[in-house]
Amino acid sequence: MYYELYIDVLFLVNFMMDSLLLLTVRTLLKCPVPCWRVFLGGAAGAALTCVTVALALPVWMKYLSFYLIITGIMIVFGLRIHTIPLFFRACVILYLTAFLMGGIMQFVRPYVHMWSLYYLVAVISYYLIHTSWKMITRLKEVQEKRCAVTLYTGSGRYHIQALADTGNVLRDPLSKQPVNVISKELAMDMWGQPEQYEEGKIRYIPYRTVSGTSVMPILKIERMCVHLEEDIWIADPVLGISEEKISENEEYQMLLNADIAGGIKDGCKSSSSTAV
């Protein structure tokens, strides 16, 4: 059985698909290469594919070229990857992306009768994978910043969820301590009305947001424990009470100060904290 194959069409199809796959790998691995180099890698892969198809090579050699040699050249040339661990990661991501994109295109193939629309589906598939990955990454980042916290006050013990917010650099001008911001709803649950907050130990400090300057009520509580792999105990922490919602979905009730948070990589630790 013989097939009529147009080499220019084969090149364009492979150039498009290879470029989309390399763009996806570039995004997921955050490779610092320009788009033009990615497209050159796609062109190199498409050209090598055409040469391999045109040559009278054994079947096993063609498969070796398609799935290993050409893929490796595309990754090294198009993404400037030269370390072995990163190279294998790029290969895995490329094959997984090709599998997902191929599955999407096979799903819609019976319903698309124009090749131009079929290629449009490939581009849409790339953006779907790209968008999905960004959403998963953002969700993971938020989850990594969250931690459980226990507040110990004169009115009891409260278990809440906190977000390690490195953008919160608010400090008490009097004591110079970092201020951790809690929601107004949580404060109401713990102490009731503002005049009842810890028996009048409340003070007010100025703070600035994107909407302007205002004042925030603050007070000290007995202690606070940030629950990580090790419990981080903080004596006499300062809490600020926000008049605005700090979480739209009420997923967390506190914004840990940047000093206490110590950066996300340090797992919410601060230099003044004690691990037990």
Q: Kindly report the pTM of this predicted structure.
A: 0.50
Q: Which residue has the tokens 């090579």?
A: 57
Q: What are the sequence ranges of the domains in the chain? A: 7-111, 144-275
Q: Which residue has the tokens 């009470």?
A: 241
The single-letter DSSP state of residue 178 is B
Q: What is the dihedral of CA 274, 185, 169, 148, to 10 degrees?
A: 30
Top CATH class of 144-275 equals: mainly beta
* Beta-bridge partner residues of 152: 157, 223
* Beta-bridge partner residues of 153: 156
Q: What would the two tokens of residue 116 be? A: 């131009």
Euclidean distance between CA atoms 108 and 95, whole angstroms: 20
Longest dimension (CA), the chain: 91
CA distances from 264 to 164, 176, 181, 269 (A): 7, 22, 17, 9
**What is the full per-residue pLDDT of the chain (276 aa) written as tens digits?**
566 777 877 888 888 888 888 988 888 887 888 889 999 999 999 999 888 888 888 888 888 888 889 989 999 989 988 888 888 988 888 888 888 777 766 766 666 555 556 666 667 777 777 777 677 666 555 555 778 889 998 778 888 888 877 677 788 888 888 899 988 888 888 877 655 555 557 888 887 766 667 888 888 888 998 887 778 888 889 998 888 777 777 778 888 887 765 543 344 443 344 433
The SS3 assignment for 253 reads: coil
Smallest Cα–Cα separation from 29: which of 133, 124, 126? 133
Q: What would the two tokens of residue 228 be? A: 């990580």
